[in-house]
Amino acid sequence: MRKFLWVMALPLSLLLAGGGVAAAQSNKGFPYNADERAVGPYTLEDPLCFTDGRPVRCKAGWKARRSEILSLFEREMYGRIPGPEPLHLQTLEDGIMSDGSLRRTVIRMRFRPDCSGPCIDWTVFAPEGHNGSLPVVLMLRFADGTTELCDPVQAVTSRGYALVCAFYNDISPDPARAELQDSLAFSGIFDLWPDSGTPDGPRALGAWALALMRGMDLIETLPGLDAGRVVLAGSSRLGKAALVAAAWDERFAVICLNQTGGGGVTLAKRYFGENVLSETSRFRHWFSPAYAKYAGCEASTMPFDQHLLVSCIAPRPLLVEGFDNPWFDTRGEFLCLKAASPVWRFLGAEGLPDVDWPDDYDTSAIGPVLGYVRRDQGHGIAAIDWTWLLDFADRALR
């Protein structure tokens, strides 16, 4: 009865899509809501309660709840998170860069005993002449440029961190055109798994997340890098992959997720910005086919939302940097962090600062352990994002 009354209270124009809210905008032909007034009511599951309603009472209980959440996300959203171990590392290049301040090393990682098949080429940039072991920023990159001395190489190394990175399309191709997504998309590292491209098999975000976990394995083998002080970073689709990696793998000390948007940190049930229909139609290879069933009925049918996945990162330091653009729904990211924050407190860490959604460039929601900040003007990790990120990491690793 209450639900009926709520639906009747909405103007007819709001009853078009997404569980009863407006489809005011369109992006590449996909409708999306960009009107805060059209966000309908939704309920977020309590991260500190098991699916059967039992409360989590102790740290061991949280461990079990965390496993329950990860299984749910494998089944319903990201597909199986696969796990081949790297078998063989080969240094392809090693030398001092032209200005003398950085050492650049390219290492090929292989997975099969006979060294055939897929590989990942990692590039390590490390400041020369340092003593002791360096903290590290680990990330996947959109660019194949492994030699250029520019962002993020300069941003990271000038702050005394090493940068370990790989080109994400080398790990598994990311075709934009839907007709290529069922074939070309499941190549590259997918050749390691017999069930590649099947509904229950691994999907692209999981494959890139796996690469990040293997990047951590690499760091553990490299003298001069401190595997206990690894900052995992990523932007946009590569931020979504970093979120998955951080939720699954507890070795990353600090996590910084930049402009991840839908399928990343933001809440699907708000039905604001990118939504399940656009995600699973434009990027079929990113998500499990099981996720598509929630398209258009996120708020009323989804038994989970992204705050549950985010809570699996607790109690480690996490900074979320949002992009003030309706498609990326960064208010949803802030609300997601608020909903996950009780898990940090439960585990004895400080939660998100108790402030309202901050304005662009306002850093008042960046706490020592959990933080949020947003800005407008340009998609991607800009100089100001690196400053927020590395300031946060410096404090967290101190």
Nearer to ligand GCU, 14 or 257 (CB): 257
Interatomic CA distance for residues 30 and 264, integer angstroms: 18
- 278-307 residues in contact with ligand GCU (CB under 6 A) are none
Q: How near is the Cβ of 350 to ligand GCU at its closest, in Å?
A: 29
Nearer to ligand GCU, 240 or 316 (CB): 240
Of 332, 331, 334, the C-alpha closest to 319 is: 334
Which amino acid appears at position 51 of this protein?
Answer: T
Q: How near is the Cβ of 314 to ligand GCU at its closest, in Å?
A: 24
Q: State which of residues 47, 86, 135, 261 lies at the interface with ligand GCU (CB under 6 A).
A: 261
Q: How near is the Cβ of 145 to ligand GCU at its closest, in Å?
A: 17
Contacts of 294 (CB under 8 A, 6+ apart): 268, 276, 301, 302
According to the binding rule CB under 6 A, does residue 316 interact with ligand GCU? no
Q: Are strands 318-323 and 254-258 parallel, antiparallel or unpaired?
A: parallel
Q: How near is the Cβ of 206 to ligand GCU at its closest, in Å?
A: 15
How far is residue 37 from each of residues 18, 313, 350, 359, measured CA to CA in Å? 14, 31, 32, 19
According to the binding rule CB under 6 A, does residue 321 interact with ligand GCU? no
Handedness of CA 379, 384, 388, 393 (dihedral sign): positive
Q: Which stretch binds ligand GCU (CB under 6 A): 214-222, 255-263, 332-340, 366-374?
A: 255-263
Of 319, 321, 339, the C-alpha closest to 330 is: 321
According to the binding rule CB under 6 A, does residue 371 interact with ligand GCU? no
Q: Which stretch binds ligand GCU (CB under 6 A): 119-127, 260-268, 308-316, 365-373?
A: 260-268
According to the binding rule CB under 6 A, does residue 274 interact with ligand GCU? yes
According to the binding rule CB under 6 A, does residue 330 interact with ligand GCU? no
Q: State which of residues 79, 206, 262, 367 lies at the interface with ligand GCU (CB under 6 A).
A: 262
Contacts with ligand GCU, 188-227, as mask; x by CB under 6 A? ----------------------------------------
According to the binding rule CB under 6 A, does residue 234 interact with ligand GCU? no
Per-residue H/E/C for 182-198: CCHHHCHHHHHCCCCCC
Using DSSP, state whether 249 is helix, strand or coil.
Answer: coil
Q: Give the interface size with ligand GCU as a residue count (CB under 6 A).
A: 6
Nearer to ligand GCU, 134 or 207 (CB): 207
Q: How near is the Cβ of 36 to ligand GCU at its closest, in Å?
A: 20
Q: How near is the Cβ of 165 to ligand GCU at its closest, in Å?
A: 16
Interatomic CA distance for residues 379 and 324, integer angstroms: 9
Maximum distance among all Cα pairs of the chain, rounded to whole angstroms: 72
Q: Which stretch binds ligand GCU (CB under 6 A): 10-18, 216-224, 259-267, 351-359?
A: 259-267
Nearer to ligand GCU, 262 or 296 (CB): 262
Query: Contact at 8 Å (CB) between 274 and 261?
Result: yes
Q: State which of residues 65, 103, 203, 237 lies at the interface with ligand GCU (CB under 6 A).
A: 237
Q: What angle do CA 218, 262, 20 make, to 5 degrees?
A: 160
Q: Which stretch binds ligand GCU (CB under 6 A): 185-193, 217-225, 261-269, 290-298?
A: 261-269
User: What is the phi/psi pair of residue 254, to 5°?
Assistant: -135, 145
According to the binding rule CB under 6 A, does residue 236 interact with ligand GCU? yes
Per-residue H/E/C for 368-394: CCEEEEEECCCCCCCHHHHHHHHHHHH
Interatomic CA distance for residues 393 and 319, integer angstroms: 9
Which residues are at the interface with ligand GCU (CB under 6 A)? 236-237, 261-263, 274
